[in-house]
Amino acid sequence: MKLRLLPWEYGIRNLFRRPTRTVLTLAGLTTVVLLVFVVVAFIRGLDASLAVSGDPRAVLVYSIGAAEDIENSAVPAHIPALLSATLRGIDRRYGVSYVSPELYTATRVAVDDLPPRMAVLRGVTPQAPLVRRQVQMTAGKWPAAGEILVGRLAATKLGCDPKLLAIGSTVTLAGREYRVSGHFAAGGAAYESELWFPLANLQQAMKRQDLSLVAVSLADGASVADVQLFCMERVDLELQAIAETRYYALLQSHYRPVRMLGWVVVCLVAGAGIFAGLNTMYGAVVGRVKELATLQALGFRRPAIALSLVQEATVLTAAGSLLAAVLALVLVNGVAVRFTMGAFALRVDSTTVLVGCGTGLLLGLFGAVPPALKAMRLPIVEGLKAV
């Protein structure tokens, strides 16, 4: 015997018969799904920041004792010239070797009248943009002595208003003021949360004469193995070389527990949402016992009525998921957040939307089935007598 289903419009009309309960349920579901969007956007933003930070042609040379922590590396100041003179695989244009000596550190700097705050600093030379091809000047000019270049997300890392890092403003490091000469972006790479100083200025401020690393850009046909072979042959220098893409891939592995924790939070939020949905649906079914018994008396079978209840919940959660997706795209996507490595932007991409909306639909499905099954167990006579 063919199952006789309730009309589609019946479930939709029921949502509007109790507007207060529907609006409150919709708000709760939207909040739960929006939390899922935020957590997934955090994970995707972190992954995207590390993924775009590496240049496939760049190789990082730093000290063996630093392991994978470049901040603790110490490279003699003559290494850039030695690499430029020895390695044939380095890219060269118009007599300029694509070799960037850099000093990388994290320390406190003062902005305006605010207390000193932790910032990521990089001492660079004009060769840095030749190796860091993602970097693009967005305003101002390259810093001269006593000036700095500010990354797009540096204000987020410092926890200050971006207006305080406008061109012409100053930051204080080791008792000396440095004027902001320009801004740069790097397509979402980790550099965007940094302050770039002229190398000599940062060495003087940090009282160091050495470097943290030397970044080189390889010419066509060269490989990272050429640089690694140089480091192996010159054991007296105690250097190691790694492709920049490989370095940031290792950082992604380092932050894997953080990403796993994020997915655990997604599961916990979804589980809490399911229980909230169960509670809401149980309340909705209890108030409609007489209505459901009447439908059975009119000849509608229990599976058809249960399917109608699931339909109502699914339509409501779909609406909540779409609303949460719109709010995430407007309020969450691109929002910069601080992190140990600097700062990065939350990313609401196709994966984030898929996980968020999929979670919302699952909330509607699994939140409606148990209450619907319970309501169908009540005898018709008792249901008609219910108040």
Residue type, 356: G
Residue for token pair 């008609």: 384
Q: Are strands 336-339 and 170-173 parallel, antiparallel or unpaired?
A: unpaired
268 and 138 belong to one structural domain: no
Task: Record the pTM.
Answer: 0.78
List the domain range (segments joined by +) for residue 175.
58-217
> Which one of 168, 200, 217 terminates a domain?
217
28 and 88 belong to one structural domain: no
19 and 73 belong to one structural domain: no
Q: Are strands 147-151 and 176-185 parallel, antiparallel or unpaired?
A: parallel
250 domain-assigned: no
Give the DSSP letter string of 36-95: HHHHHHHHHHHHHHHHTT--TTEEEEEEGGGTT-GGG--B-TTHHHHHHHH-SSB-EETT
265 and 379 belong to one structural domain: yes
> DSSP strand E in the chain: where?
58-63, 92-93, 96-97, 99-111, 117-124, 136-140, 147-151, 170-173, 176-185, 194-198, 213-217, 239-243, 336-339, 342-345
Q: How many CB atoms are located within 10 Å of the residue 170 CB?
A: 17
- Which pLDDT value is given to residue 339? 73
210 and 80 belong to one structural domain: yes
- Which pLDDT value is given to residue 287? 64
85 and 201 belong to one structural domain: yes
Q: How many structural domains does the chain have? A: 2
Q: Which two tokens stand for residue 332?
A: 């969450």
d(CA 78, CA 90) in angstroms, rounded, equals 17
126 and 180 belong to one structural domain: yes
25 and 69 belong to one structural domain: no
Q: What is the enclosing helix (H) or strand (E) of 358? A: helix 350-376
21 and 96 belong to one structural domain: no
- Which pLDDT value is given to residue 56? 84
- Which pLDDT value is given to residue 99? 92
For the chain, how many residues are written?
387
Q: Which two tokens stand for residue 380?
A: 């018709």
pLDDT tens-digit profile, the chain (387 residues): 566 666 767 767 777 777 887 788 788 788 888 888 888 888 888 888 777 777 888 899 999 877 777 888 889 999 999 988 888 888 888 888 899 999 999 889 999 888 888 889 999 999 998 998 888 999 999 999 999 999 998 888 888 888 999 999 999 998 899 999 999 998 888 888 899 999 999 999 999 999 999 999 988 888 888 888 888 888 888 899 998 888 888 877 777 787 787 778 777 877 776 676 666 666 666 667 677 777 777 777 777 777 777 787 788 888 888 999 999 999 988 888 877 667 788 889 888 899 888 888 887 777 777 776 776 676 666 656 655
> Which one of 157, 191, 217 terminates a domain?
217
154 and 286 belong to one structural domain: no
Q: Tell me the angle at which helices 350-376 and 289-297 cross, rounded to the nearest 10 degrees.
A: 70
- Which pLDDT value is given to residue 109? 92
Residue for token pair 């419009």: 9
> Which one of 217, 247, 282 terminates a domain?
217
Spatial neighbors of 284 by CB under 8 A, at least 6 apart, are 18, 21, 25, 371
- Which pLDDT value is given to residue 71? 82
140 and 195 belong to one structural domain: yes
- Which pLDDT value is given to residue 316? 84
78 and 185 belong to one structural domain: yes
